[in-house]
Every structure is written in C-alpha cells, then in structure tokens.
A and B are shown apart, each in its own frame.
Chain A
Amino acid sequence: MAHGPAKGISRWLFTTNHKDIGTMYLWFSFAMFLMGGVFALVIRAELFEPGLQIVQPEFFNQMTTMHGLVMVFGAVMPAFVGLANWMVPMMIGAPDMALPRMNNWSFWILPFAFAMLASTLLMEGGAPNFGWTFYAPLSTTYAPPSVTFFIFAVHIMGASSIMGSINIIATILNMRAPGMTFMKMPLFVWTWLITAYLLIAVMPVLAGVVTMMLMDIHFGTSFFDAAGGGDPVLFQHVFWFFGHPEVYIMILPAFGVVSQIIPTFARKPLFGYASMVYATSSIAFLSFIVWAHHMFTVGMPVAGELFFMYATMLIAVPTGVKVFNWVTTMFKGSMTFETPMLFSLAFVVLFTIGGFSGLMLAIAPADFQYHDTYFVVAHFHYVLVPGAIFSITAAVYYWLPKWCGRMYDETMGKTHFWLAFLGLNLTFFPMHFVGLAGMPRRIPDYALQFADFNMIASVGAFLFGAAQILFLYNVIATIKKGKPATDEVWENPEGLEWTVASPAPYHTFTTPPQVK
C-alpha cells in the first residue's frame, strides 16, 4: 500500500524510505563538505605567506588531519551512498532498498560519529594531529588523548559503510525488475556494486588496524611499537591494504555518474558498455595488489618495489580504456553543455591529469623524489576534487530536477562551474610545481622559493570555497522556487528513473516495470 511520508521530525528519524535516506545522506555530506572546507581554508590561510601568522604548528596538524578525515569519510563517501540510495532502486526498477531499517540505522549513526570526531577539537591536547593516514607510532605512543575518540568514530563510520554496502549489494542482486539483466544495468549501478564489494572487503581491515592501535594505547600490546617487538611498518601495510581500495571506493561511483551523464548530453549511447564493466572490475581487482606504492621509501626489498611498481603501472590500462570510451562516446554525438555536462567534461580532463601524475608516481625511482611532497598533494586532489567532488556535483545537477520536480537555474549552475573550475586549478595546479621543487607536504611554514605558488594556491582555494556557497544557494532556490521540470527533464535520457514523474513519487515501482 502506497502512502506518503510521515509528518514532522519523525519522518526523518524513523524513515525507511530510500529517497528520504538518500536526501539525508546528501545534506549531511554537504554539511561535512563545508566543515572540511573550512579546515582546508585554515590551512591555505596559514600557507598564504611564509612564516607563522594565523595558527601554530600543533593546530595546523590538527587541521590537515581533520580536513582529510572529514572529506574522505564525511563528504565523499556519504555523498555517494546518498546517490546510491536515491538512484539505485529507481535505476533497477525496485520499490526501495532491500534492507530499509538497516538503511535508516546506517545513516543515523553517522552524525554521532562525526559529532564525536569534531568534539576532539575542544579536548585537552587537541584533535588528532597525525595526518589522515595516522601512521604509528605518531598516532599511538605519541598521540593526544583524543585519539581514543577518533578510533571509536572510525569504528562507527566503518560500521555505517559496511551496512550501507551490504544493503546496496542485496538490493542490486535481488530486486532488479524483470528483464533487468546484469549487462543491462546502468553503469552507475555496476560501479556501485563493485564499490560495495570493495567496501565490505576493506572496511573491516580499517577497523582491525584502529583496534590494534587501541590495544597498543590502552591495553599494553605492542603491535606497532618497535620497543615491544612490534613493527611500525606493519601499520602502514595494513592501513594501505585498506587505503588503496578506499581511494577507488571514492572514484568508481564517480565513473558511474559520468557514464550516465555523458551519453545524455552527447545524445549517443555509451561507447563500449561491456568494456566499461570489465575495466571497472579490473581496477577493483588491481586495487588490492598495489597498496605498497604508498610506501616506496619505507625500505622494502627491491623485489617488492618492482612488484608494486609494475602492478601500479598496470592500473593505467583499464583506466585509460574508460577515458577513451568516454571521449569516443562524445565523438560524432550532438553535444550540448548544460551544467552536469560541464562538470562531467571537466571530470574527464582533470581526472586524466590526475591519472598522469599517478602514472609518474608509479615509477618507483622517481617516486623517491615525489613521495610526501606537494606533488602527491596535487595528484590526489586532482583525482578527488574534479574526480569525486565534480562528479557528485554533476550528479546533483543531473538528478535534482527528478528529485524535487523543479529545474535549477542554468546560468547560476554554469557560473558555479566556472568559478569552481578556475578555483580548483588555481589551487592545485601550482602544487605540482612546489612539490617537484622540493616542498614537503603537511608543513605549516615553508622556504621562500615556494612563496609565490603558495599564494596563488591560497587565492584559488578561497575562490573554490566561495563557489560552493553559490552551489548551496542554487540548490535551495531550485527546491523552493525552481520552474517545474518535465518527467524526462533532458532530451531522451536513458534509464528507468526518467520514466517516473518529476518529482519522483514517494514510492516508485511498487509494481515492477518490464525491461526489454
């Protein structure tokens, strides 16, 4: 029996509706995006000029740590889960997620985890200050007392992610409409299915490594303490066994998003659908055997260096296939450049640039120079900001009319895009240069030869931040007073989500559609 949403706050607290939960995930992730952004702006403000002006080194280290943690676990991951909640059931013709109560639970533990993490800023000794990679023993023996709260927060985030991914897998495997075979699924569904398996594989590893930290700190074990017979390098192996698949967790759904958007605005079917599925699977597999390329300088035997160098270089092959497929999808299309398409095109170009620097980093002897410099910071921000963040933004502009039944303001959307595009390149491109010239990452003050590029980067960062306020305004204005959207929204878009009304009814596909 279809019925509408409950009234008042209980609608949101007790909801089991995939659309409501998706909405909450997206708003939550945007709030975290702003919080992590403020941390980033503190960093950029301090680095505007050489010398210590605004914050002291101990607080600076808390900012770099919290920025990374909040952006990875609070902004990017929940945003993609939010998109999955909204879109996966509608794309496969399912009435809801397979496990709706768990869905509610996996969202509602997140605000508590991040409230706990944020509260460490007010604790004696300050927030975690050991970087988002929290290498032991800096994060164990030498950590501030708030590390225990950090560990607990990570446990909760991990539980949320695992429940979310179980739900997505259960939904995709069991609730597809008749005729929706695997090789007919939209690519966003495919990439999320693979991502969900990655999450289930590696979040327990993260939970394991923070639990070992907890034992070392409070229960006298010595997993990572050389003085007790432990091994600080073990920490890095375990962390990156989680950490490398984690970076693909943040990019595979982005591949899915742009694979939906580019065909719509090129008015041409996605080129090489099957090879896209295989490439995504290969990337997921390779992500498990390349982790130690984050550790080339750790002193591995040369055989290990070679193995991880070759395996890492191999990732360029399936990733290249994806980029070639997107470009060929556009080729001989009939292209238009609405806001979601602009963000997707920027994704293809800038993510590829991030891929190039990744290929450079794979060359182990050269990595001895790049490692832990701003070149690495430039690299991973090029894959994460125009990669994950731009694709999420593109997805919001693309599906917002379907979600709220109203059209966003195209001029404002395009202004947002150009400001963000300019801001991001001003911020992160100069980081390649200072990194190559020798500026280490995670330093609150720097030698004079790095001054000019740092100033440019700081200006760019504030521009990028300002652009996001425009985004927020545009979304709110759309929801409140946007022009009504049609059911199809775009010109002949592909996918079941466009066959339902705009805004999408509270319950969709209570009778499954027939997929031909």
Chain B
Amino acid sequence: MLSRVGRLSACLLGLATMVGVNSTALAEEVERWGVNMPVGVTQVSRETYGLHMDIFWWCVGIGVVVFGVMFYTMIVHRKSNGAKASNFHESTTLEIIWTVVPFLILIIMAIPATKTLLKIYDFSETDMDIVVTGYQWKWKYEYLGEEVSFFSSLSTPREQIDNLAPKGPNYLLEVDEPLIIPTGKKVRFLITANDVIHAWWVPDLAVKRDAIPGYVNESWTIVDEPGVFRGQCAELCGKDHGFMPIVVKALPQDEFDQWLQTKKAEAATLRALTEKEFTFDELYSQGEAVYNRVCAACHQVNGAGVAGVFPAIKGSAIATGQMAAHLDIIVNGSKKNPAMAAFGPQLSEVDIASVITFQRNAFGNNMGDSVQPIDVLKFKQGGQ
C-alpha cells in the first residue's frame, strides 16, 4: 500500500513538472493514467469518440466564457475593491440571446449524433450471428448455425482478489475462454440474459447493450485488425457483478475458421464422452474443478455457503440424501430460491456427473457413491 502511495505522489510530481516541459511525455502520461475514452478499433467507436470530444470541447468553450465572466466579476466587482452595486436586473435582449445561442449549439451537436445513432442501428447485411447470454456471473457465447457454444468466466485466481498473491496485468479482465470473432466481418450480437439483467460492454468496440431476460437485443461490430479487447458487465447483477469480464479476440478469417473447426471437434468428443464410464477418482477430481469454477462463487470453496443467503453444501440434506433429489436441484435448479439456477442447460453431462460426485464426497460428506454421465443424460430426458 505504501509503495502505491509513494508511486502516486511521484506521478503527481512528475505530472506537474512535465506540464511545462514536454507535451509528448504529457500525452504518454495521460495515456498511462487512462483519463479518456478509448478511441477503439471500429468505425463506430471512432465516431463515438469524435462525438464525445466534440461535445466535450463545446462544454469547455461555454465553461471558459461563463466562468471567465464570473471570475472576472468576483475579482473586480467586490466590495473590498470599493465596487458600488448597479441596480440593473432585466434585459429581454440578453435573455433571448442566451436562449437562442445554446439552442443553435444543440442543433449543431444533434446532427452528427443522429447520424452515428442511425448507423449503430443498422443491423442489415450481417455476416454472422453470435448469441450472448448473461448468467450470474458469466457469459455464454453461441455461434448460431455452427453448433458451437461455450461459457466464458473470470479466470483471475481467487488468491489475487484476496490479496494473497500479486495481481497480474489483466487482473479481473481475463477469462478462461474468450469470445473469438473474425476480422473484417459484420458480426451481429444477439444479447439476452438467463436470470437478471446484465450488460455486455466492450469499450474498444463501443458496444454496450443490456442483456435482459425475455428480450433479445441486437448490436454489431466490424473489427478491422486482429487484437484482444477487454470489457466488463455494466449492469448491477448481484454479488459478483464486478467479476464477470468480457474478452473478445479478433482473428484473421483463416485462423478463425481453424478455431471454429477445433471447437466443433471438441463438441463432438464431449458428446461421445457422455457414453463413457468414468472411475470415481476421475469424476471426483474433475468435479472439484467444476465446483470451483461454477459453484464456489456462492457456496464457497470450503462448501460452507454464506449464512442466510447461500446454503452450505457441507452436510446439506441434498448432498447427503437421495441421488435423484441431488440430480434434480443441479439439473432443474431450485423453485424456492431462484439464485440456484437450473444447470442442466449450462453444464455438460460429464460436468454434472462429476460435480455431483464431488459434492457428495467432499467437505466430509463422504457418501461414497457416484453418478455416471449417461445417468445424468437419462435423468435429463426422463426426469424433466
């Protein structure tokens, strides 16, 4: 902490001395501190940045005039200077001028803003569609017509958040699996949510749309150059709202196609795995990984839950009771407490089988039993 305070004062000093010295160094310092909206990497983001700067300079100009007059008055027309008060208190001419002039400035600003807005709302002629679904607290990306879909969640280790390990350069802005898009293509995002309202926001693309359960919102982007762009959920969505980042990776078309093929093959392998018989240890160790990725956010890494909000897994009636009830709550969620979502559509059969096996045997639950992916599939098909 002290080092940060030291660095901060050094920066402030440096900034102060640099103002008079070197404008490029100042520009670099401004860049490092992140004081302005990113210009971004798309036509829309550049236009948005332009609008932002235009309206900003209008405000600066008006501010200079208004505050200029005000400070002049405060310095010159003060009683201690012997200023005698005039008595004028009305001027229709002045009132008309300062009603009409701002109105004209507004019209000047409204024209480009309208043009950009109409461009953003042009959803025609898209090259591909990606369904973006917000979940508490992760994103699901589904490539329409490609049978490829996956979840993307925070990959920053818990130790960094709890200050037990040094923080990485992309602290809180890194995910296990980024959204991959091709460059030079008009990619349409169909944005919705599964539970509460989220908002999908990537500043460099100037895309922000609310993800609302029951609604499908549209947005689009064309990224010219390959790159990695980071954003965050922008609508308060509960406990881990600050921990569901977005990472978009733009690849050249050929690399994108390659990636898509690999993902398709992976999906096929996963479907085949459902048929496979797993050992207890395989299920348990994979289950631990799934638990930490999916369940631990609420039920905690030690399975103790949070009193009054998220029930404990440790010694819980479900995890130490009938297998069918355990399958039911994982696959269909809780009717009593909607915070426990239905994970049937979110997780693979293998993941569900392993996390159930883990929960029944970890935290001293020691049930000694396990469940196979194929049983999960049967439950899903028959038990709905």
Contacts and interface: CB of A to CB of B under 8 A. Distances in A.
Interface of A: 49-53, 57-58, 61, 124-126, 129-131, 135, 137-138, 141-142, 144, 226-227, 230-233, 266-275, 297-299, 302, 305-306, 309-310, 313-314, 316-317, 320-321, 323-324, 327-337, 345, 348-349, 352-353, 356-357, 359-360, 363-366, 368-369, 371-373, 433-434, 436-438, 440-453, 455-456
A440 B236 CA distance: 9
B242 A124 contact: no
B213 A226 contact: yes
A232 B90 contact: no
A65 to B, nearest CB: 9
Contacts of A142: 136, 195-196, 238, 338-339
A327 B1 contact: no
B59 A440 contact: no
A306 B117 contact: yes
Given A335-B74, A440-B234, A445-B242, A305 B213 contact: no
B36 A349 contact: no
B325 interface: no
Interface of B: 1, 4-5, 7-8, 11, 33-38, 44, 47-48, 51-52, 55-56, 58-59, 62-63, 66-67, 69-70, 73-74, 77-80, 83-91, 94-95, 98-99, 102-103, 106, 109-110, 113-114, 116-118, 120-121, 136, 160-163, 167, 169-173, 195-197, 199, 201, 203, 206-210, 212-215, 217-218, 231-243, 306-309, 338-339
Nearest to B217: A299
B239 A447 contact: no
12 contacts: A50-B172, A57-B240, A61-B241, A126-B308, A232-B197, A232-B212, A266-B77, A327-B69, A330-B74, A372-B208, A447-B173, A448-B167
A445 B11 CA distance: 22
Contacts of A359: 55, 58-59
A336 B78 contact: yes
A80 B203 CA distance: 39
Contact of B77 (A129, A335, A345, A369): A335
B232 A438 contact: yes
Contacts of B102: 316-317, 320
Nearest to A492: B85
Contacts of B338: 141-142
A61 B33 contact: no
A333 B83 contact: yes
A302 B199 contact: no
Contacts of A275: 95
A330 B209 CA distance: 45
Nearest to A235: B197
Contacts of B172: 50, 445-447
Nearest to B98: A324
A445 B33 contact: no
A368 B38 contact: no
B95 A452 contact: no
B241 A232 contact: no
A312 to B, nearest CB: 10
B232 A369 contact: no
A317 B121 CA distance: 28
Contacts of A124: 307-308
Nearest to A324: B98
Given A353-B63, A456-B8, A50 B85 contact: no
Given A268-B85, A437-B35, 20 more contacts: A50-B167, A51-B163, A51-B167, A129-B238, A135-B236, A137-B195, A227-B214, A232-B215, A233-B215, A266-B77, A272-B95, A309-B110, A332-B85, A363-B52, A368-B208, A433-B34, A440-B234, A442-B241, A445-B172, A445-B243
Contacts of A138: 196-197, 236-238
B89 A366 contact: no
Given A61-B238, A359-B59, A438-B203, A365 B120 contact: yes
Nearest to A320: B102
A367 to B, nearest CB: 9
Given A49-B4, A433-B33, A273 B236 contact: no
B180 to A, nearest CB: 21
Contacts of A443: 232, 241-242
Interface core residue of A337, A369, A445 (most chain B CB under 10 Å): A369
If over half of B's interface residues share one DSSP class (helix, strand or loop), that class is named, otherwise mixed; here it is: mixed
A57 B67 CA distance: 41
Contacts of A52: 161-163
Contacts of B170: 447
Contacts of A437: 34-38
Given A317-B103, A433-B33, A269 B89 contact: yes
B208 A297 contact: yes
Contacts of A317: 99, 102-103, 106
B35 A436 contact: yes
A310 B107 CA distance: 9
B196 A433 contact: no
A334 B34 contact: no
B127 to A, nearest CB: 22
Contacts of B70: 327, 330, 345, 348-349
A291 B167 CA distance: 41
Question: 8 closest pairs, A vs B, by CB?
Answer: A226-B214, A443-B242, A437-B34, A124-B308, A299-B217, A356-B59, A334-B85, A267-B85
Contacts of B87: 268-269
A224 to B, nearest CB: 10
A153 B307 CA distance: 25
Contacts of A298: 210, 212, 217
Contacts of B44: 365
B79 A267 contact: yes
B235 A365 contact: no
A349 B145 CA distance: 56
A38 B4 CA distance: 25
B18 to A, nearest CB: 16
Contacts of A449: 34
A33 B91 CA distance: 40
B38 A438 contact: yes
Contact of A324 (B66, B161, B339): B66
Contacts of A352: 63, 66-67
A442 B232 CA distance: 12
A513 B256 CA distance: 83
Nearest to A275: B95
B95 A321 contact: yes
Nearest to A302: B121
Contacts of B109: 313, 363
Contact of B83 (A49, A50, A273, A334): A334
Contacts of B173: 447
Contacts of A130: 236
A356 B117 CA distance: 21
Contact of A299 (B56, B212, B231): B212
Contacts of A456: 8
B1 A49 contact: yes
